[in-house]
A and B are shown apart, each in its own frame.
Chain A
Amino acid sequence: QVQLQESGPRLVKPSQTLSLTCTVSNGSINSGDYYWTWIRQNPGKGLEWIGYIYYSGSTYYNPSLKSRVAISLGTSKNQFSLNLSSVTAADTAVYHCARELVRITGMMDVWGKGTTVTVSS
């Protein structure tokens, strides 16, 4: 059973960069069958899709975040990462990584439990 686990700092100061890693267990990130995705959730804006990376390294981002976001494949074979720069309190959220099936557009069948990130000085 494939599992995803988010990790990274829980507290980030305003104007700094939020950095999270998603570790994929019992499966390979090096597969053309999936998009590896980040989604965040906060009480104010609900669920917000951030973007994805494909095993080839190609990415697609939410235009509302595009100028601040970068998703990359990790240095470890089964990891991918999220960097969000110039954060403000509005970026406080639970951040989930997930995988989306390429053959069934939009279906995110495996999610990480999420990690809460607070932006505060």
Chain B
Amino acid sequence: DIQMTQSPSTLSASVGDRVTITCRASQSISTWLAWYQQKPGNAPKVLIYRASSLESGVPSRFSGSGSGTEFTLTISNLQPDDVATYYCHQCSNYPWTFGQGTKVEIK
């Protein structure tokens, strides 16, 4: 299975900050990567697919980049509504696998 490693595990930043979450794959996955946001008590919600494509309706302050084994999710201008746990997800090889999550908090 392809292992997905996210960093950091927890991130604390101020409203308006730019924050970056990194996801590394144990082998190349091209751009077969998605990012999900999960708020407590809710299901994950897709933000980004194919590494950098923004899902319809997702605010433009979210962006994704990367290819191969290293990927980033950036939130520019962090908002209180962005408090959540973020997961990367590889869809290059079955079984699909996920990162362990990054919890984003507001200082």
Instruction: State the 10 A-B residue pairs at the shortest beta-carbon distance, nearest first.
Output: A106-B91, A111-B43, A47-B98, A49-B96, A62-B95, A107-B49, A46-B100, A105-B91, A113-B43, A49-B95
User: Are B43 and A109 in contact, with the CB atoms below 8 A?
Assistant: no
- With A62-B95, A107-B55, A111-B45 known, 10 other A-B pairs at CB within 8 A are A47-B44, A47-B89, A47-B98, A47-B101, A49-B98, A96-B43, A105-B32, A106-B49, A109-B46, A112-B43
A108 on the B face (CB < 8 A): yes
State A62–B2 Cα separation when bound (angstroms). 12
State the Cβ distance, A101 to closest chain B Cβ, in Å: 9
Output the residue of B41, B87, B95, B100 with the most chain A CB within 10 A. Answer: B95
User: Are A108 and B46 in contact, with the CB atoms below 8 A?
Assistant: yes
A57 on the B face (CB < 8 A): no
Mask for A37-76, Cβ within 8 A of B = 1, else 0?
A: 0000000001111000000000010111000000000000
Q: Within the complex, which residue of B41, B46, B94 is in contact with A107, where a contact is CB–CB below 8 Å?
A: B46
> What B residues does A109 contact at CB under 8 A?
46, 55
B22 on the A face (CB < 8 A): no
Q: Could you tell me which A residues sit within 8 Å of B by CB distance?
A: 46-49, 60, 62-64, 96, 98, 104-109, 111-114
Q: Within the complex, which residue of B34, B41, B87, B100 is in contact with A106, where a contact is CB–CB below 8 Å?
A: B34
Interface size for B (C-beta < 8 A) is 26
B60 on the A face (CB < 8 A): no
> What A residues does B99 contact at CB under 8 A?
46
State A114–B98 Cα separation when bound (angstroms). 17
User: Are B49 and A47 in contact, with the CB atoms below 8 A?
Assistant: no
State the Cβ distance, B40 to closest chain A Cβ, in Å: 12
State A62–B49 Cα separation when bound (angstroms). 21
B97 on the A face (CB < 8 A): yes
